[in-house]
Structure 1
Amino acid sequence: MIQLTATPTSALADEPVHIRATGLSPSQVVTFEASLEDEKGNLFHSRAYYRANEAGEVDLEHASALGGDYVGVHPMGLFWSLKPEKILTRLVKRDVMNSPFKVQLKLYDSNILITALFMAAPKASLTVERWYMAPGVTRIQVREGRIRGALFLPPGEGPFPGVIDLFGGRGGLTEFRSSLLASHGFVSFALAYFNYEDLPPFMEKTDLEYFEEAVNFLLKQPKVLGPGIGIVSICKGAEIGLSMAIHLEQVTATVLINGPNFVLSCPHVYHEQVIQPLPPLPHLLSTTDLGFVEFYHLVGDPLDEANQPFLFPVEKAQGHFLFIVGEGDKSLNSKVYAVQATEQLGGHGKNNWTLLSYPGAGHLIEPPYAPLCCASKMGNIPFYLHWGGDVALHAVAQEHSWKEIQIFLRKHLIPNATSQL
């Protein structure tokens, strides 16, 4: 009897699943298919072909895919290779509390014509649930003073390390990373800073006092360990995270994912200090053959002497940095920016940084097993932005960096912490 198993069938979205098929004929070729529907009704699917061993089994932890959406041994390939039916649609979990993503897994006999393959009934099927909040995690809507966001508390009395989670230029409130961080023992504050509720719809300036209020709010929470907090940030959020680390002494551990080491587009203001953006180049944008817009060449080389005054004084930060860059990032020249920042730190005798650089990874480095989005629309921008990345290499970067982020935060936010996950 043919059986398809997945262990566990219900787990956090960043946890691996062991998929296995048994009861097949020796050397039988079969097709594994995965599919899910997001909260907006968009469909995503993936498939891969495998040959059973002499015992009539296919174990995705050991078996090599012969083709399909990936090749080789990739136990979670069916998840990270999911592709949208509606091209250039990004898979984003919006409601992290009440429902999981439900991934349908199906097993087909491949010994029939490909055109007829998916008209046939599957030999076996099951549903895997991918949750974004562990049992016992609490979500609290935050509307205190000027600050807006969502606070996620792990179960238990604590105290736990506290983290502010910042996303990029789309604005609004994105919660899936914060809810997963809380599921792994962090008090995580998903902070909105424009285009949300009564916040400004667009950013005309970055008011660092707003982010200082958020830091102080987080440190007042009874479950937060203190005395410092961490930041996990990407893109525009990483620009702000770097500025916070420089200006706010309470920030002691900062994760910067594919961000610049200077101000983009609108000035940063902190009390009487104004930090001006690096001037854009005359041609501003570049476009791929497919019409995707890239910000990769938006600004000049930060290594140019004329641009030096616009770089963040990263050497003034007292905390530690984890720079994470995708070498296939087509939105920002993020590796150049991170290398320049680390050289600037080293030039001032600082060794308070780690740089993780991933070949083939794109701009949108997320928690593991999320599929690559190579291009998508953002907010009210009327064109598609090119994020870059190779599907399989991007998946490797996400899985490795997510573990390293948690190790880094624990090391610098918990006294005498071990680096155990």
Structure 2
Amino acid sequence: MILAKGPVRSREKRTCEEPDFSDMVILLVSPEISLVDEPVKIQASGLPPEKVITLRAWLKDEKGQIFHSRAFYKTDMEGEGPFPGVIDMFGGVGGLIEFRSSLLASRGFASLALAYFAYDDLPGYLGEMDLKYFEEAAQFLCAHPKVSSDGIGVVAICKGAEIALAMASYLPQVAATVCINGTNAVNGNSLIYGDLALSGIPYKAERFLITDFGSLSLLNFLDDPGKPEHQDSILPLEKARGPILFLVGDKDENYNSLFFAREANARAVKYGKKDVYLRCYPGAGHLLEPPGSPFCSASQSTFFPLPLTWGGELVAHCRAQETSWKELQEFLRKNVRCSRRNKL
């Protein structure tokens, strides 16, 4: 966006006030020298999107008097790109869910909502998971002319978070990963990738619980990955190229997600990976979604005879959604790089 400001005087000095990124900002002024009755166009680049900035101008005339002006602007979206690429996935409900991906796109990310079963010509049920499918999605996004080729981010919840962690562990295209209420190991469905094969930890169907409200709790459905017989199913997150952020609710009644995130963090410490982060939100349930999403403690699923219990406390969960959404975006902006600067 070109900003027209004027009239201004020929000996004017111009700066852009923003201490966090002013060393990256470039101001282009046309014409560079002008008289008081001529308009001046100013273009600023190197600014993050949707940021309020202050432009100041001042000069000292021949009598030593200082003239100054100040204007406030909000930067656009990134314009022509390239944009930071993000793959967005949901969990065991299957199908194509796009609302979070759409919001990420509105915030300046080139976001790909990726279905992996129960959609179009994909299998109706989730069976063996071939990481090659997800690698092709990452390659497709990286190769897009509007996407930065330096690497992509992955955001996923539930079963999708398990796949996201596998992608981070094995795919070089993944620069940053956000796992929302997921696990640290392959569960149920086996994972293959070329010659690699990881058996899924068997589900414990006998641990299903029916709540007083008649919904189904899967909280103890997944076995402890720390058992000796399950060690080969644990995902080697220490191999991940980039940082990993675990976002979990401590009132998740679908997964024991806090336990799994702590196990993942402990493995990172053990192997010396220092860029694994855990954020736990007190009172939050399983469905940590963008702000404005309605609080849902239980809902019907196509693949179960009873509604599934998601957990969470109304006020605490809604607050967690506001906080986690901001932290998710900040994490992606910091760790999924763009090669071109943004413009005002």
1:16-55 counterparts in 2 under 5 A? none
State the SS of the aligned residue for 1:192: coil
**What are the Cα deviations for residues 120-167 of structure 1, in whole angstroms up to 9, with x where unaligned?**
xxxxxxxxxxxxxx9xxxxxxxxxxxxxxxxxxx77211110000001
Could you tell me the TM-score, scaled by structure 2's length? 0.74
Q: Are 2:153 and 1:230 equivalent residues in the alignment?
A: yes
1:199 is aligned, of 122, 134, 139, to: 122
Shift, 1:336, TM fit:
0.3
- Partner in structure 1 of residue 87 of structure 2: 164
State the SS of the aligned residue for 1:332: coil
Q: Are 2:232 and 1:316 equivalent residues in the alignment?
A: no
- Partner in structure 1 of residue 108 of structure 2: 185
The 4+ residue runs of structure 1 with deviation greater than 4 A are 415-418
Contact 2:83 2:338 in 1 (8 A): no
2:103 maps to a residue whose letter is: L
1:387 is aligned, of 302, 310, 318, to: 310
Q: Are 2:186 and 1:302 equivalent residues in the alignment?
A: no
Structure 2 gaps, min length 5 = 1-49, 51-76
The 1:411–1:283 alpha-carbon spacing in structure 2 relative to 1, beyond 3 Å, is same
Aligned length: 266
2:332 is aligned, of 382, 400, 409, to: 409
State, as a whole percentage, how many aligned pairs show the same letter: 49
Shift, 1:214, TM fit:
0.3
Contact 2:148 2:339 in 1 (8 A): no
Structure 1 gaps, min length 5 = 1-133, 135-153
1:410 maps to a residue whose letter is: R
Shift, 1:309, TM fit:
2.9
- Partner in structure 2 of residue 176 of structure 1: 99
Cα distance in structure 2, aligned partners of 1:267 and 1:402: 31
- Partner in structure 1 of residue 212 of structure 2: 289
2:244 maps to a residue whose letter is: F
1:240 is aligned, of 163, 175, 186, to: 163
1:196-275 counterparts in 2 under 5 A? 196-275=119-198
1:346-357 counterparts in 2 under 5 A? 346-357=269-280
Structure number with the bigger relative contact order (C-alpha 8 A, sep ≥ 6) is 2
Cα distance in structure 2, aligned partners of 1:198 and 1:299: 29
**What are the Cα deviations for residues 190-241 of structure 1, in whole angstroms up to 9, with x where unaligned?**
0111111111101111111010110011011111012100001000110110
Could you tell me the TM-score, scaled by structure 1's length? 0.61
Shift, 1:415, TM fit:
5.8
State the SS of the aligned residue for 2:114: strand
Cα distance in structure 2, aligned partners of 1:300 and 1:292: 21
2:183 maps to a residue whose letter is: P
The 1:390–1:216 alpha-carbon spacing in structure 2 relative to 1, beyond 3 Å, is same
